[in-house]
Amino acid sequence: MVVSPYIYARPGISVWPDGKTDALVWSPLATKVEVLPAKGAPIVLEPKEFGFWEGQDLKINAGETYQLRLDGEEAFPDPASLSQPEGVHGPSRVTDLGDFVWNDAQWRSPDLEDLIIYELHVGTFSGRGDFEGVEERLSELVELGVTAIELMPVAQFPGGRNWGYDGVFPYAVQWEYGGAKGLQKLVNACHEKGLAVILDVVYNHLGPEGNYLGQFGPYFTDKYQTPWGAAINFDDAWCDGVRHYFIQNTLMWLRDFHIDGLRLDAVHAIKDNSALPVLAQLKTAVEALNRSSGQKHFLIAECDLNDVKYLNPINSGGYAMDAQWCDEFHHALHAQVTGEVKGYYSDFGGMDPLEKTLKSGFVYDGIWSPHRKKIFGSRPHGIAPSRLVVFSQNHDQIGNRMLGDRLSALLDHERLKLVAGFTLLSPFTPLLFMGEEYGEKQPFLYFTSHGDPQLIEAVRKGRQNEFKDFMKDEKAPDPQSDETFQRSRLTDRARWSDEQRTLRVFYQKLIRLRKSILTGSDKQGREIGREAPEVLSIAYHSARQFIRITFNFGKNPYAMSLPPGSYKLLFYSADPEWSGHGEEPLNAQPEAPEQILTGHSFSVLQQKP
């Protein structure tokens, strides 16, 4: 007797090594479920426990298309389809995930403290706009020094242009990007070059167009509402079938695509009051996969609640996520260097939040938030810094601005370098957004390619209304326009300015420096200090070295007072090599302990034995 729905394998149609094809569909309220091949007779599936329907050794082969018919009436694409070559409304295609030849048997994912993440959007990262376009540029990323790429969502979405958060087939890889085989090939190439791959997945909602899951069963619940409509059913009647669907999706990415880790989008929007929350259940399933595979796949949660329960162990009531995005590091840094204090930035600005986020990540850790009008957050005591992912830019913080303007459109060259140093030399896990490393001038805008005219108009109006209080005299770029998409593409390297080329080398050497001085940073001692009203410092010390990093966020020079000793200058952002305007701040003479650090700059000093 089956005692749990989790005994079932991945839903959808699976092709096994022996060539046999099986089907598994979850539709608990249906009285009949059939597979309708494009060629051949309908195949009636057998009812099983917990609302599953099963068929074995089906007369359908890889490459053939099919639909699923419920109760002898309307036919739909498979909710667990692995391929949608004709788009979100077309038939599904049988896909063999096991016929790709991998050559990464020796690959092992890096430790969290060794991650330097590069977030990219497949459609705008290269001129090709697909997985092959990303693969062609991997050598550039290796040269830059990052250790992992993070792909924005690739689950099938309507049309060919989208950020990916409107995906409606969580198991199907976007056809225009190269489909399942294209993604497997990209991951294999990344591992060959020493790069880990993180995939952004969305388990808090599905997009509106082409969303057929509700036809098959209670995938959604009216018990809660989210910004995107009805919540996914993780704790209401029949929720175990829904949980099975998303847990198996996670295992598919890690097992069949060799993805190293997942970034779970907006987990605060996952509504779940179960005794065993789905995130904890998901983590338990990943740990079981890790034990059986010998790999160390990881889960990174995006959460804006400053809630350490997402990181705490399951036996302590937490969800045991391996790491969590730390938005407040961004907010404090952005508000300080740009002077923006509207909206949620009103809770930041000035040096106090910047000092606090450098010390512990969270700024609001159980204190009053004037913007939210309530006490907010919890204290991350005992949380290793590498478990917080920090950034000065990402797809949200750029693309959710009406004009999609990057920091390179808001800051001068000196402050761009200062921001880079503050992020990359922090004790946390750093993330870069594509183009940041050379100061990309093109915006990253919000774009879609929906097919429903009413939805298109609703998105246009919603986008304009979102910014009505900020940009009253400007019109938001049309998300549906191809021009909006084209403007968001990265600039070809041949067209970079001299300043951009200099910034690219600056990032490269800064990353190299991080690797040399922050190896095993979770185990190093560190001290955060406020040297002056607008000057912060970090001291990293271990048995083998003492490193002092000083950041001057003020526009005026700062006279550093160094403890007695002999020092070596490892890096200075205002050096003429980086098109800076400063003199070397240190002559390494103990009798001259006071050195000048020019405005909007930072230096890295190593104390000699």
Catalytic residues: 265, 302
Q: Is 266 marked as a binding-site residue?
A: yes
Structure tokens at 524: 């190093």
Q: Does 205 appear as a known binding residue? A: no
268 labeled binding residue: yes
Coil, strand or helix: which one is 132? helix
> Binding residue per annotation — 206?
no
Alpha carbon distance 92, 94 (integer Å)? 7
C-alpha separations of 109 from 147, 173, 294, 390 in Å: 10, 22, 11, 20
Q: Is 331 known to sit in a ligand binding site?
A: yes
Asked if residue 596 belongs to a known ligand binding site, the reply is no
Q: CB under 8 Å to 607, separation ≥6 — which residues?
A: 545, 546, 547, 548, 565, 566, 567, 568
| Nearest alpha carbon to residue 269 among 324, 315, 232 | 232
Coil vs helix vs strand at 110: coil
Cα angle: 303, vertex 409, 495; to 5 degrees: 110
122 annotated among ligand-binding-site residues: no
Q: For residue 465, say whether it is annotated as part of any ligand binding site.
A: no
Is 390 known to sit in a ligand binding site? Answer: no
Say if residue 21 is exposed, middle or buried (CB neighbours under 10 Å; 0-12, 13-18, 19+).
Answer: buried
For residue 222, the tally of other CB atoms under 10 A from its CB is 11
- Residue 588 marked as a ligand binder: no
The annotation status of 328 as a binding-site residue, yes or no, is yes
CB 73 within 8 A of CB 45: no
Vertex 326: Cα angle to 528 and 307 (nearest 5): 105
Query: Is 396 assigned to a binding site?
Result: yes
Sheet architecture: strand order including 525-532:
525-532, 535-541, 546-552, 601-607, 567-572
330 marked as part of a ligand binding site: yes
> Is 265 labelled a binding residue?
yes
263 is in an annotated binding site: yes
Q: How many CB atoms lie within 10 A of CB 157?
A: 29
Output the known binding site. 263-268, 327-331, 395-400
Output the known binding site for substrate. 263-268, 327-331, 395-400
